[in-house]
Structure 1
Amino acid sequence: MLAAALAGFSSLLSFEPFAWWPVGILALAWLFYQVGMDTSARRSLLVGWGFGFGWSVAGMHWLYVAITVHGGMPAPVAALAIALLAVYMGMFSALATGAATWLRRRWSLPVPAFLLLVLPACWGLSEWTRGWLFTGFPWASSGYAHNISPLAGYAPIVGVFGIGVLVAVCAACLVMLTQRARLPALGMLAAIMAAGFGLTYVDWTRPNGAPITVRLLQGDVAQDEKFSPAHIDRALTLYDGMIRAAPADLIATPETAIVLFPQQLPPGYLDGLAAFSRDTGSHLIYGIPLADSPTQYANSVAGVAPDGRTYRYDKQHLVPFGEFVPAGFRWFVDLMSIPLGDFTRGAKVQAPFAVKDQMVLPNVCYEDAFGEEIALQLRSSPTPATMLLNVSNLAWYGKSVAIPQHLQISQMRSLETGRPMLRSTNNGATAVIDAKGRVSASLPTHSRGTLSATVQGMQGATPYIRFGNALFLAWCALAAGAAWLMGRKYRQTRSQAA
């Protein structure tokens, strides 16, 4: 169990800021070797749970900063909370390895069918389930480590969870090297990598209209000052000045750069921004909470165009314990000094913001961790977006790996959709990501500045936009069917030999 937890913990090295993506494959290979031995489902389940526990602690330990530094929770209680989260997260990998071993015994599977078909499918399904159950928490899914590997070429087809299955197949190929079928295993591994590398040269989308100029603001407002009445006026002045510093086709601020409701702002504040938009031809998008009633308010971004058009996007995938309190957990929230409430969810499909030739679709904070929801918006909108915009505030998590990991998630969304992603954040990572998932410009983290760039929007639909995770799920179903047939043939061969 300890070795399994350490192997899972090592996966941290596969993600940013380390980006040693082969480590994730090696870690899974170790896990698959352990459960690949003719072991019981119970042992496989426990080893899988230990692996998932270590994986979760490594990938999500940054939550400790928010809970202790900004939530005021005692360190032992915060550590216990992180451990309990890891206990829960470990259950998904435990179900993957336990279910795979149970199927192996029930279907009398030969080793290749078990390693190359059943285990990867179960691993992929466990990550997919983790991404939606109880609103989902897909952070540190294995596919995210491969935005820079040859496997990135598969993202526009099967998405991050499909890449997770391929990671598992590669790990299984390494385990197969301990068997007699070394050459076929090496051939399969090489073919997967080569095909993925070749797919990176496929252009699934094409340029739309003329590029636009963008200015992405990073205010670097300290989290302990952001909501403090003594510092709010200073932040309002800061962002007003950063917006007015220079014109651009699109100027975007981070999430809740304006922390007050419109009716609480100094007189003329928003009117002044609208006048700047009109006088300079700039389109503005700014993070602000918006209320529809005294009891209904949303984490929103608002926009204004030079012709007076206004825009609103409401965050629809809310953060548990951050933007809504799950039933039965009010006691946990009461332990923290963070002022939390229940926000109103936005619609699943919302219109993009027209900026000259481009259509810009915002997403707020960790909404960009849910690729299928973004794909749904792109294929369902009458006027699909040509570029994406993430506005975030990760100052809650200090100088942790949360910032580079979040940037990596945004890169995967660009790969899946074939569209550039703009990121305007409070303290990082403010960046421009092109349609191939490459960071073309960025600001240093934990600094104040403005990122200026020219960005080309893209049109067209990747297979992932058209089908979301359906192709990945169909792949897993086909793998299970093929394994069952192989098991049936294996049983018949053994019975004839007997």
Structure 2
Amino acid sequence: MAEPISSRLRRGVTPAAADSSVRALPLWHYLAALVAGAANTLSFAPTPHGGWLEIAIFVFLYAWLTRTAGWKSAALTGGAFGFGNFVTGVWWLYVSMHDYGGMAAPLAGAALALFSLYLALYPAFAAALWSFCAGHARNGKASDLPLSPTWHGAFAFASAWALGEWLRGTVFTGFPWLASGYAQVDGPLAGFGPVVGVYGVGWVLALVAALIVQAIVQLRAGRLAAASAQSSRTLAPSRIRPARAALPAIVAVAVTGSGLLLSQVNWTSPVNAPLTVRLLQGNVKQEMKFDPVGITSAIAMYQQMITAKPADLIVTPETAIPVLVQQVPEEFTRAVRRFSDTTGTSILFGAIGGTITPEGQVVDYTNSVFGITPNSRDLSRYDKHHLVPFGEFVPWGFRWFVNLMSIPLGDFARGAPVQKPFTVHDLLVDIDICYEDIFGEEIARSLRDNAVPASVLVNATNLGWFGNTIALDQHLQIARMRSIETGRPMLRATNTGTTAAIDARGKVIGRLPVFTVGSLDVTVQGTTGNTPYVTSGNNTVLAVSLILLALGFAFSSGRAIGKRGESGKRNNHNSHDDAQS
């Protein structure tokens, strides 16, 4: 492991002078961080048990950050890591923009690179924040001295990292894809998901990595001290260092073990009888989805698939019926209603919502899922709340960018943040559409704020925009984290894949092959009760992170010594520092 640097601000050196006086890191330092970020993409799906790999990569990241000489180099290191991670982890956006959106290849590539640079700002911010709050950014001409990573530095890194990921999932409607906690779905830290959510899992991951680095650095220092002691015939340093290395290592192992133990806890309990469910996957080609011939074909296909076999619940993908709900053919409506009434089957189908004015104009288009209940003329409705930028609404000032693509959808109206669940027999079903399930806090809020929380989660989506890429497996991994966080099963009906059923512990109990037409028949047990994460959302990890960062900033060893009291005490303290140097 490369030598870290000192976190102590030398007497008489201001923070500004410190940042300008330290040695510049070589270019290969940042290239190595970029490569590590790219390697971190391998921690996520479809890599099995990638959580262990992610821990190793974060150990490297923290060790690499300790080589930086101030907040600027720390930010550049974190940004390089983030860019490597995002440009390799969300490259499938290029497929969406170029292959299906018709954008010119150079423009699509440039857009992907710019978006990855934007996303990289958040790990850059986290690294800079850690540098300040660990006392690191206030180094003087001490960059040639070794840093012994401190406890407050480890907690500052965990807190800054979690805060950066939360901001990335919140600012400008948020994009929390590839949040570090998702790689732990099959990893040793998944058990923290029901307690503190995906950002909390990322917090624990960063803490464990920092403590491992702290133990390794102390162990190396102990070996050097032992060698020095042998030459000077004193054994005192060699007795102290192993203990300093053992404690952070023990804590890291204990935290990891706690994650494994927490994954065995049942935070929710079964309720009512299991549901028989059929999840439909039509595999409608994206270029045909809104073509008149494709629309007619899709409606006929889904009519046949829905009425082929009864179940307690049948779910179609997002906009499986790609027309305004008022324009759904009467033949489809009669056949599906008759099937529902005669078999007792509840049906959820995706279509486009809207309001027709007396003048015949359609306003307030919505991306919706409609529900049919046996022997009821009422049509339930869920309207998508968290819309996709550039696909379902155009951010201010970006109309020119959308015009570069051939996207048939425009600006949609938003549904309410919390909407009434759909009832299937005696169970309530909470619905979300497309990438709404990457926002765990919103699903937790829906469960928390409804008078009676739902027992089953349903996601209707269309990932046909992204081809046969890692986006499909990554989205399934995200859905699994939602089940872990809430202690509820998740049902996913997708157009091209991955259609799957996930139990309340985040395990996939059935899935269809991608890019096939089929029906997934599963039995799902609903659950009741709230996990700690459903109760408190992201408030826990945010509060802990902000408190620890404030304490780290206030009491870190790197603070300047300008407010210590009278000059005599200051001189004594400075003399002591000089003696230590």
TM-score normalised to structure 2 length: 0.83
| Aligned partner (choices 171, 180, 184) of residue 142 of structure 1 | 180
The CA deviation at 1:38 is 5.5
| Aligned partner (choices 221, 240, 264) of residue 327 of structure 2 | 264
Which stretch has the larger CA shift, 54-63 or 153-162?
54-63
Find the residue that maps to 2:125 and give its secondary structure.
helix
Q: Is it true that 1:154 corresponds to 2:223 in the alignment?
A: no
The CA deviation at 1:497 is 3.6
The CA deviation at 1:31 is 2.1
- Whole-angstrom distance in 2 between the partners of 1:284 and 1:71: 31
Q: Does the 8 Å contact 2:491/2:502 carry over to 1?
A: yes
Q: Is it true that 1:29 corresponds to 2:97 in the alignment?
A: no
The CA deviation at 1:83 is 0.2
The CA deviation at 1:29 is 2.1
Q: Is it true that 1:367 corresponds to 2:419 in the alignment?
A: no
| Aligned partner (choices 414, 419, 422) of residue 491 of structure 2 | 422
1:148 is aligned with what amino acid? D
1:250 is aligned with what amino acid? L
Find the residue that maps to 1:21 and give its secondary structure.
helix
Q: Deviations over 1:129-188 (max 9, x none)?
A: 000100000000000000111211110110000000111112212321332133122211
- Whole-angstrom distance in 2 between the partners of 1:358 and 1:496: 72
Cross-structure match for 1:59? 89
Q: Does the 8 Å contact 2:380/2:422 carry over to 1?
A: yes
Q: Does the 8 Å contact 1:429/1:444 carry over to 2?
A: yes
Find the residue that maps to 2:353 and give its secondary structure.
strand
Q: Does the 8 Å contact 1:36/1:115 carry over to 2?
A: no
Q: Deviations over 1:98-132 (max 9, x none)?
A: 12212324788973135311111111100000001
- Whole-angstrom distance in 1 between the partners of 2:532 and 2:61: 31
Q: Is it true that 1:295 corresponds to 2:363 in the alignment?
A: yes
| Aligned partner (choices 318, 323, 340) of residue 255 of structure 1 | 318
Q: Is it true that 1:43 corresponds to 2:73 in the alignment?
A: yes
1:432 is aligned with what amino acid? A
| Aligned partner (choices 198, 202, 207) of residue 265 of structure 2 | 202
Q: Does the 8 Å contact 1:208/1:357 carry over to 2?
A: no
Which stretch has the larger CA shift, 28-37 or 407-416?
28-37
- Whole-angstrom distance in 2 between the partners of 1:334 and 1:378: 38
Q: Does the 8 Å contact 2:215/2:247 carry over to 1?
A: no
1:444 is aligned with what amino acid? P
Cross-structure match for 1:461? 530
Find the residue that maps to 1:287 and give its secondary structure.
strand
Please give the residue correspondences for 1:437-476 in structure 2 after superposition, counting only pairs within 5 Å.
437-476=506-545
| Aligned partner (choices 280, 287, 291) of residue 224 of structure 1 | 287
Cross-structure match for 1:325? 394
Q: Deviations over 1:253-297 (max 9, x none)?
A: 000000011233323322321121111100000000010242211
2:303 is aligned with what amino acid? D
Q: Does the 8 Å contact 1:155/1:162 carry over to 2?
A: yes
- Whole-angstrom distance in 1 between the partners of 2:493 and 2:484: 19
Cross-structure match for 1:403? 472
- Whole-angstrom distance in 2 between the partners of 1:207 and 1:41: 50
Q: Deviations over 1:283-342 (max 9, x none)?
A: 000000010242211000000100214210000000000100000000000001112311
Find the residue that maps to 1:297 and give its secondary structure.
strand
Q: Does the 8 Å contact 2:136/2:558 carry over to 1?
A: no
Q: Does the 8 Å contact 1:284/1:305 carry over to 2?
A: yes
- Whole-angstrom distance in 2 between the partners of 1:312 and 1:81: 35
Find the residue that maps to 1:214 and give its secondary structure.
strand
Find the residue that maps to 1:251 and give its secondary structure.
strand
- Whole-angstrom distance in 2 between the partners of 1:168 and 1:346: 36
Cross-structure match for 1:213? 276
- Whole-angstrom distance in 1 between the partners of 2:329 and 2:485: 42
- Whole-angstrom distance in 2 between the partners of 1:121 and 1:339: 42
1:291 is aligned with what amino acid? G
Q: Does the 8 Å contact 2:71/2:137 carry over to 1?
A: no
Q: Is it true that 1:5 corresponds to 2:34 in the alignment?
A: yes
- Whole-angstrom distance in 1 between the partners of 2:41 and 2:332: 44
| Aligned partner (choices 198, 205, 208) of residue 170 of structure 1 | 208
Q: Does the 8 Å contact 1:156/1:416 carry over to 2?
A: yes
- Whole-angstrom distance in 2 between the partners of 1:452 and 1:473: 40
| Aligned partner (choices 72, 83, 105) of residue 113 of structure 2 | 83
> Which of the pair has more CA radius of gyration?
2
Find the residue that maps to 2:330 and give its secondary structure.
coil
TM-score normalised to structure 1 length: 0.96
- Whole-angstrom distance in 2 between the partners of 1:173 and 1:62: 35
1:454 is aligned with what amino acid? T
2:246 is aligned with what amino acid? L
- Provide the identity percentage: 44
Q: How many residues were matched structurally?
A: 498
2:179 is aligned with what amino acid? S
Find the residue that maps to 1:399 and give its secondary structure.
coil
- Whole-angstrom distance in 2 between the partners of 1:429 and 1:107: 49
- Whole-angstrom distance in 2 between the partners of 1:149 and 1:45: 28
Which stretch has the larger CA shift, 473-482 or 416-425?
473-482
The CA deviation at 1:480 is 2.2
The CA deviation at 1:389 is 0.2
Q: 1:496 to 1:346 in 2, by over 3 A?
A: farther
The CA deviation at 1:485 is 6.1
Cross-structure match for 1:69? 99
Mark the runs of 5 or more structure 2 residues left unpaired by the alignment: 1-29, 140-146, 219-243, 357-361, 565-571
Task: Give structure 1 regions of 4+ aligned residues with deviation exceeding 3 angstroms.
Answer: 105-110, 488-498
Q: Is it true that 1:279 corresponds to 2:309 in the alignment?
A: no
The alignment's C-alpha RMSD in Å is: 1.9
The CA deviation at 1:95 is 0.7
- Whole-angstrom distance in 1 between the partners of 2:484 and 2:462: 23
Mark the runs of 5 or more structure 1 residues left unpaired by the alignment: none
Cross-structure match for 2:375? 307
Q: Does the 8 Å contact 1:100/1:118 carry over to 2?
A: yes
